[in-house]
Amino acid sequence: MSAAGADKPALDISGWNRDTRPQDDFFEFANGGWLKNTEIPSDKTRWGSFVILAEESRDAVQTIIDELSAKDGLKNGSNPQKIRDLYRSFMNEERVNELGVAPIKAYLQVIEGISSKNEFGKIWAEAGRLGISNPIGAYINQDGKDSTRYALYFTQSGLGLPDRDYYFQDDERSTGLKEAYRTMLARLFDLAGLSDGLKKSETIFELEKRIAGAHWTRVENRDRIKTYNKKTREEIKGMLTSFDLKTFLEVSGVANESSFIVRQPSFLEGLNATIKEASLSDWKDYFKARVLIDFAPYLSESFAQAHFEFYNKTLGGQEEPEPRARRAVNLVNGSLGELIGKEYVQRNFPPKAKARMLDLVGNLKVAMKQSIENLEWMTTPTKVAALEKLKKFNTKIGYPDKWKDYSGLTIAPDDLVGNIIRSAGFEHEREISKLSKPVDQTEWFMTPQTVNAYYNPSMNEIVFPAAILQPPFFNMKADDAVNYGAIGMVIGHEIGHGFDDQGRKSDGDGNLRDWWTEEDAKAYEARTSKLVAQYEKFEPESGFFVNGQLTLGENIGDLGGITLAYRAYLESMKGKWPPMVDGLTGEQRFFLSLAQIWRIKQRKETTIRRLKTDTHSPPKFRVNGPVRNFDDFYKAFNVKAKDSMWLAPEERVQIW
């Protein structure tokens, strides 16, 4: 962690744009110089704070892998051997190219041999074990209404395009994307030696379009109440009369489950109709496409390039693939994340960083407690319940107390696709084994080397992996204003998720339960609806606007994050006036630090795709959006009614 910031300035003023006033466009003032002078690397779709730090994390992982890759004589089955040989299997490009489609040919032949739709239950379950996507996504998670037990969830899946809406939009750009997708499908079929690729790409697309027609929208899928539908086995059989549910469950290894949580019941009904009405031949071509798409990045160069051309270049604007070594690191991180993470932590995460983070989190929790207690719009019964939930918040920092055991996984140096399939099967078995065990409260859902953080509503916990605890987010050598503006905002953001429009629907034990009075719920929704309206006016690209409903939870988190972090910062001053540093007040440094963590530049194609699929607003509006609602920002930079950042006091949204 390079002494947590020893070689990085707390605030990078070289990236400012002094031709823009902070009162008119705060994001541009804080980041415009950097944006103007920075080129996105040709192998990236975006570049900036998060991505640069993620690259440094991958550098650290690369160093660990390189040291292991140079070693022979590692004990077979040992953790170092698995890391080394998974990496070697991807880096052996000559062998991968020699094999071509051979590693998946047997699976394509199995699909070709399907003689009846009655076999779909078996085929889809086997696909799930292999890590191949299919229309019914099945996964294990805590029961939303009983967090003490695990449950089996069913969710919609099975599309090749990023979202259902892509199939139904007919503007010029969308039409071009759909044509490019069909071109990729045809190319993959041709490379695999399958006949009539162009014709089959049309039938596959039309079948996916029918599946997409039953999909819920991303906004609908955010609703934690509507997506909690507990069903018996008989009820699901009634929805899937054309599907062999019994065999699907048996082959999946969950034959004894009697109840399930269905996120989108109408999707299963719509899928059932499509199973019945689409021809067996079309379904077989669809299954083949799923195998080809999912494994293309791990086959010979021509397959990987066809996959890249559509998913990275056409959809994201990425000009060229990342170096093969970088992609190999991604594979190791994805398949053996905690194995490599354990070594990463030992080398890169000093204990004093964890201790400092615990202090910061504690201060942010105090700020949230004070905010709840002092709210004018919330009545006492709801305040009591909110404080009880906050009191039960758990915090995880850096790395797991208990590491995952990979002893049952076999990795070979010359079998890339086999390694991926065995890894998928290993994770499948790990997941379904949860159904017979108590909930593991120590489990992490990000690796330590991940540059991110999360709130888990079922465990009512906030989690901060080691890799994000570095500049510009967390700097042991920076003043409090900088740290509270950066990592303090991140902490406050995650705390805020526990009380955002969806997080507020569960209690301190992680169970979906309405603990709000009707009066308070209406007051809350009145505020959040104003936030939705504000964000829907933001236009990151000409003709493309922020979806205020899709991004609402994250926007609430951002506004709450600033509010809590700023209050905690002032509290840390213990009544003293924040000091001037480099000609800037403490308040100004707080907001500039906040803006600096969203110093990100992304390609137009990526921005448009993320506007349709991402629950986060674009970087600029993660700064300008919340600060214009925050009174202390106006004071810090003397923002007046004539300024572009001005929002009339009655239009500002204050939740916490």
Beta bridge partners, 226, equal none
Domain count, the chain: 2
User: Residue 125: which domain range?
Assistant: 98-321
Average pLDDT rounded to a whole number, residues 288-302: 98
- Do residues 231 and 368 both lie within one domain? no
* Strand duo 394-398 + 461-465: pairing: parallel
DSSP assignment of 368-405: HHHHHHH-SSS-HHHHHHHHHHHHT-EEEEES-SSPPP
- Do residues 471 and 385 both lie within one domain? yes
pLDDT of residue 2: 43
Average pLDDT rounded to a whole number, residues 547-557: 98
In a domain, 427, yes or no: no
Average confidence score pLDDT of the chain: 96
- What is the per-residue pLDDT across 30-74, written as a single tens digit (0 to 9) for each? 999 999 999 999 999 999 999 999 999 999 999 999 998 888 889
- Do residues 284 and 387 both lie within one domain? no
- Do residues 553 and 585 both lie within one domain? yes
Average pLDDT rounded to a whole number, residues 279-308: 98
- Do residues 51 and 168 both lie within one domain? no
- Buried b or exposed e, range 400-428, using 16+ CB within 10 angstroms: beebbebeebebbbebbbebbbbbbbbeb
pLDDT of residue 71: 86
Distance (Å) of CA 357 to CA 218, 494, 644? 34, 14, 36
pLDDT-derived band at 5, boundaries 50, 70, 90: very low
Domain boundary among 321, 350, 367: 321
CA 153/CA 70 separation, integer angstroms: 43
Task: Give the rounded distance of the alpha carbon of 390 from its chain centre.
Answer: 24
Question: Are 425 and 432 a contacting pair, CB within 8 Å?
Answer: no
Distance (Å) of CA 18 to CA 28, 595, 608, 639? 9, 15, 29, 16
pLDDT-derived band at 7, boundaries 50, 70, 90: low
- What is the per-residue pLDDT across 73-123, written as a single tens digit (0 to 9) for each? 899 999 999 999 999 999 999 999 999 999 999 999 999 999 999 999 999
pLDDT at 1 over 60: no
Distance (Å) of CA 237 to CA 34, 243, 253? 57, 8, 18
* Strand duo 136-143 + 230-232: pairing: unpaired
User: What CATH code is carried by the domain that includes residue 584?
Assistant: 3.40.390.10
* Torsional class of 397: left (φ above 0), alpha (ψ -120 to 50), beta (otherwise): beta
CA 291/CA 307 separation, integer angstroms: 12
Percent of the chain with pLDDT over 90: 95
- Do residues 285 and 343 both lie within one domain? no
In a domain, 410, yes or no: no
Question: Are 210 and 278 a contacting pair, CB within 8 Å?
Answer: yes
pLDDT at 340 over 80: yes
In a domain, 493, yes or no: yes
User: What CATH code is carried by the domain that includes residue 259?
Assistant: 1.10.1380.10
Which residues, other chains included, contact 323 with Cβ-Cβ below 8 Å and sequence gap of 6+? 43
Predicted model pTM: 0.95
Question: Are 124 and 134 a contacting pair, CB within 8 Å?
Answer: yes
Distance (Å) of CA 413 to CA 84, 300, 338? 8, 16, 20
Average pLDDT rounded to a whole number, residues 584-596: 97
- Do residues 595 and 568 both lie within one domain? yes
Least confident of 297-311, 427-441, 565-579: 565-579
Count how many residues are written for the chain. 656
pLDDT of residue 3: 40
- Do residues 41 and 184 both lie within one domain? no
- Do residues 188 and 239 both lie within one domain? yes
Average pLDDT rounded to a whole number, residues 504-519: 98
Average pLDDT rounded to a whole number, residues 363-391: 97
Distance (Å) of CA 454 to CA 30, 31, 495? 26, 25, 9
pLDDT-derived band at 4, boundaries 50, 70, 90: very low
